[in-house]
Structure 1
Amino acid sequence: MKPIHDQNRSYWMQTAGLPSFAPLTTDAEADVAVVGGGIAGISTAWELARAGLDVVLLEADRLASGVTGHTTGKVTALHTTVYDTLRTQRGEDAARLYAESQSAALEHVVDVARELGTDCDLERRPALTYCEDPEGVEALRAEAEAARAAGLDASFVTETGLPYPVAGAVRVENQAQFHPLAYLRGVVEDLVERGGRIHEHTRVTEAHGGAPRRLTTATGAGVSARHVVVATHHPVFDHARLATRLTQHRDLVIAGPLPPDQDPQGMYITREGGKRSVRTTPLGDGGRLLIVTGEAFAPGTGEDTEAGYARLRSWAQERFPGFEVSHRWAAQDNSATDGLPVIGRMRAGGGNTYVATGFAGWGMTGGVLAGRLIASLVTETEDPWAALYDPGRAGAVVGSASTFLKAQWDTGRHFVKDRLDTLGRGSNGPVDELRPGEGTVVRAGGGPCAVHRDDQGELHALSAVCTHMGCVVAFNNGERTWECPCHGSRFGIGGEVLQGPALRPLERRDPAELGLDRGPDPALDPDGSPDA
């Protein structure tokens, strides 16, 4: 049997490949350059091409291989308890606009799939936010009332399709779930037919000038465009200092076959127990695939993700007897400190630069909404929701001062403390205690060093200083990655950038020169277990 980390690929990415595109090798010009090939970037490029503009889309890796390829694929306007919060903090009009915009994005997905003839396993299902603890019922009653006042078909219920009792739930009818990559495959193919140019494995490293803006890429080629859209999850060009308004978290995901008669017939989420999200999707044999998400944690904090996967598996097996894991993966999301996505024109760095970020785990509707909203701004078409999501919106930080200050405190604490307390940081201790598959951060060669022992017992060493803003990374033992606690950048064990905002890899170090390469511990078998 293969080690479980070899199976860390999402079900979506295993079952719906997107077309491949060559890197950018010669300079190009366009009306609009879109940076980032997830659902927000692809949707934006498609909307603009459909409006008749010349568009080039640049993706650092493969299309939809980042956050979009690791989503749970819910397309819903019910986002836990957002409506009562919005109504309380920003008023009923803001809650209504949020419901209208998110519902419009949902229906747009349905219309686009129908228009393009895309088979993406799209199903209309209710969405429910629930609690098992009776103490949470009052908050859910308030959310149901606020969601209903905002225009959603919402109600408070105590019975659900889950195979275990709940104390209460907010239920919103006629939401949707789909196969995100199958949906995007149809959009990408139509984008190309409309003249859109796509380049994968083309990391944008710099942006210069005003209009047109000049983008420099790691391939050496560049793009000049009158408009630039930054859809890279966390903005890689942060002229507006959006990093101070964004917090990151990762969720673990497990999936496995479920008999059709056990399908809970809906999309469910609770914040209890480290968050739990449940939905199913059709399998080709007529069965269902149960998808369970939870164990949320901040990246780069040395969280024991293997233990998190074990807790998630135990929870699912207790609630769905006979469940066995066939797939597992993880997703990363960021949230703005005032709870709303950040979509629109950036005030700094040039008036023709646009951003889409801060979807807080609801990027399927948020990404589609971003495509429509940014296209309206570029084409100077009025959009009723632009002010709600504007990156420069009034009160975005002041209205959430405690969240904002906590985010800044956490970043500053990591920046200073992790340099002073490096030895053994992460899930493991000193280098000579590392088993195959483990990693740790130690002080060597005058600075923090990230060290990983592979399955053959060989050591790999990197600088542990994130190339974005200099925080010290930590090891994720479930995914075998290095992660930054400050802004969520992620790196492979070879130092390569897996997820921004970092643009450059971690610097490679020679374990022997650092005095670290002592070879595998002779007391350990190759699989990491002690000799008997």
Structure 2
Amino acid sequence: MLSGTQESYWIESTTPTAYPRLSGDADTDVVVVGGGIAGLCTAWELTEAGHRVTLLEADRIATGVTGYTTAKLSVLHTLVYDKLRTSFDQVSARQYATSQQAAVERVAEVTARLGIDCELERVPAYTWAESGDTLEKVRAEADAAAAAGLPATFVTGTGLPFPVAGAVRVGGQAQFHPRKYLLALADDLVRRGGSIFERSRVTDLDEGDSCTVTTEGGHTVTARHVVIATHYPIFDRALLFSRLQPRRELVVAAVIPAGQDPGGAYLTPDLNTRSVRTAPYGDGQRLLIVTGEHFTPGAGEATEQWQRLSDWTRERFPDARIVYRWATQDNSTTDGVPFIGRFHRGVENVYVATGFGGWGMSSGVLSGQLLAALISGDAPEWAGLYDPRRLGLTREAGSMLKLGAEVAGHFVGDRVRPSHVDSIDDIAPGHGAIVRVRGQQCAAYRDAAGEVHTRSARCTHLGCIVNFNDAETAWECPCHGSRFGVDGAVLQGPAISPLPPFE
């Protein structure tokens, strides 16, 4: 039996929002689609710059991927700098460091200016090695990060309660409560005249000198500029799905004595990734947040991976008492740098922010700064680094071919593979499976009471066959990461339509 409440601490410890649903047509200067950290920061930056802004969110703001983050606000992104100076160049590595650190400082500045109580703490960040192979990569990363202008050093000692082979350390980083920060931004945005509409899923976009977005309720918002900040872009016209790899990761959160706080934000690429940080949690205690065991959405059962992560947490922190567990998801680009900027070459006033590679806090804040600057006509010198219209075939060809082969394998292979079970009668309560019924693939789930819920097994994004994740009770698409509830409702895009009923 897995330990801990299956909910994000960030969501459980804050008050739910209740912004209205879009109930009529509107016009504005900029419409932002998506209410996560990228969308909210972009909307707030634009509002502060004097633009009229309308933000549309399919569910509730800061409850999607942003609500399930580990909330490290760091410029040290695993081993990115050595890769950047090799696959791009030294100038790009320095620009990446400068822009990401500026995002960290922006949160600190805005928190102080608005008086936001978001538990912001300045801490050092570490990428540590457990194996000899990774140790050499960590040494190279320390050198590359220092060459990029960061205060990076190679160290052999950390605040972790176990030895490490070595680590790169960068000071001046941060950690915070993401929802407390973003809900305060939302309040300030509305106070300045901006609009937020929740439960207003966008289903269509007409591009032009004046753009129109349409919601599932049939209402429209007309704007000069549109920002797509839906984590995975819900529109395929830029073909970014061929350059984005979705990844899911598990999280456990445990109470530890304050005296056992390792005092920093830590990550190792070893052991199928382990990430460690803490947060305030009452008198004399800290909440230890451990992330890892990444996998592709649609890979199926995740219970064993959650158990491995829990066991590792208790082994390395013997006094840890697990109280929460949740999962998060992100997308990586084929060249390792986020896509932030104009959506595609055929349009000048539609923008996108995606592909944060697990570092959505700094990249989400950076998105707000960069997109507000682009829309205001004052792009920073490093804007080109993040431009979604870039295409480096030398850098991306291998990753694109691999990604394309994986998607093709699912798109074709999953249609001809045998059913997971022989019939719906074989599905146990609390489980789901793909079953062939009259030659068609049916996504069938049996609830605890024994009632069977059936949906079409074809993802409504591009038609791949979904798979069931028993640990999270959800249908997941292995091609592009869309997730659906057992009732077919969209939990996570890029899909915008539910799985239809299977009669």
Give distance in 1, aligned partners of 2:422 and 2:287: 38
Q: Is the 8 A contact 1:5 1:479 kept in 2?
A: no
Offset from partner CA, 1:416-446 (integer Å, 9 cap, x none): 000001400xxx7753332221110111143
Partner of 1:378: 375
Partner of 2:291: 293
1:105 counterpart (97, 103, 106): 103
TM-score by length of 2: 0.98
- How many matched pairs? 503
Give distance in 1, aligned partners of 2:347 and 2:81: 33
Q: CA RMSD in A?
A: 1.4
Give distance in 2, aligned partners of 1:461 and 1:38: 31
Q: Is the 8 A contact 2:466 2:476 kept in 1?
A: yes
C-alpha change, 1:317 and 1:65, in structure 2 (3 Å) is: same
Q: Is the 8 A contact 1:249 1:299 kept in 2?
A: yes
Secondary structure of the equivalent of 2:117?
A: coil
Secondary structure of the equivalent of 1:17?
A: coil
- 1:275-314 counterparts in 2 under 5 A? 275-302=273-300, 304-314=301-311
- 1:457-472 counterparts in 2 under 5 A? 457-472=450-465
Partner of 1:62: 60
Give distance in 1, aligned partners of 2:88 and 2:95: 11
Offset from partner CA, 1:466-498 (integer Å, 9 cap, x none): 000000000011110000011100000100001
Give distance in 2, aligned partners of 1:414 and 1:101: 37
Secondary structure of the equivalent of 2:92?
A: helix
Secondary structure of the equivalent of 2:385?
A: helix
Q: Which runs of 5+ in 1 are unaligned?
A: 511-532
- Does residue 404 of structure 2 align to residue 405 of structure 1? no
- Does residue 152 of structure 2 align to residue 159 of structure 1? no
- Does residue 137 of structure 2 align to residue 139 of structure 1? yes
Q: Is the 8 A contact 2:4 2:324 kept in 1?
A: no
- 1:349-428 counterparts in 2 under 5 A? 350-395=347-392, 397-424=393-420
Secondary structure of the equivalent of 1:509?
A: coil
2:127 counterpart (126, 129, 132): 129
Secondary structure of the equivalent of 1:326?
A: strand
C-alpha change, 1:422 and 1:384, in structure 2 (3 Å) is: farther
Offset from partner CA, 1:72-116 (integer Å, 9 cap, x none): 000000000000000111111000000000000000010011111
C-alpha change, 1:30 and 1:270, in structure 2 (3 Å) is: same
**Which amino acid letter does the alignment assign opposite residue 416 of structure 2?**
L
Give distance in 2, aligned partners of 1:9 and 1:184: 19
Q: Is the 8 A contact 1:436 1:455 kept in 2?
A: yes
Q: 1:152 deviation in Å?
A: 0.7
Partner of 1:521: none
Of 353-362 and 277-286, more deviation after overlay is shown by 277-286
Secondary structure of the equivalent of 1:186?
A: helix
Give distance in 1, aligned partners of 2:180 and 2:437: 46
Give distance in 1, aligned partners of 2:164 and 2:409: 39
Partner of 1:502: 495
1:315 counterpart (312, 315, 330): 312
Partner of 1:148: 146
Q: Is the 8 A contact 2:3 2:324 kept in 1?
A: no
Q: 1:17 deviation in Å?
A: 2.6
**Which amino acid letter does the alignment assign opposite residue 149 of structure 1?**
A
Moved over 6 A (4+): 3-6
**Which amino acid letter does the alignment assign opposite residue 81 of structure 2?**
Y
Of 352-361 and 398-407, more deviation after overlay is shown by 398-407
Give distance in 2, aligned partners of 1:430 and 1:38: 40
Partner of 1:515: none
TM-score by length of 1: 0.93
Partner of 2:444: 451
Q: Is the 8 A contact 1:210 1:349 kept in 2?
A: no
Partner of 1:514: none
Give distance in 2, aligned partners of 1:101 and 1:349: 27
Q: Which runs of 5+ in 2 are unaligned?
A: none
Give distance in 1, aligned partners of 2:423 and 2:320: 37
- Does residue 330 of structure 2 align to residue 337 of structure 1? no
C-alpha change, 1:15 and 1:504, in structure 2 (3 Å) is: same
Percent identity between the two aligned chains: 53
C-alpha change, 1:30 and 1:5, in structure 2 (3 Å) is: farther
C-alpha change, 1:477 and 1:24, in structure 2 (3 Å) is: same
Q: Is the 8 A contact 1:489 1:498 kept in 2?
A: yes
Secondary structure of the equivalent of 2:213?
A: strand
Q: Is the 8 A contact 1:25 1:220 kept in 2?
A: no
Partner of 1:432: 425
- 1:245-264 counterparts in 2 under 5 A? 245-264=243-262
Give distance in 1, aligned partners of 2:229 and 2:186: 16
Q: Is the 8 A contact 1:18 1:181 kept in 2?
A: no
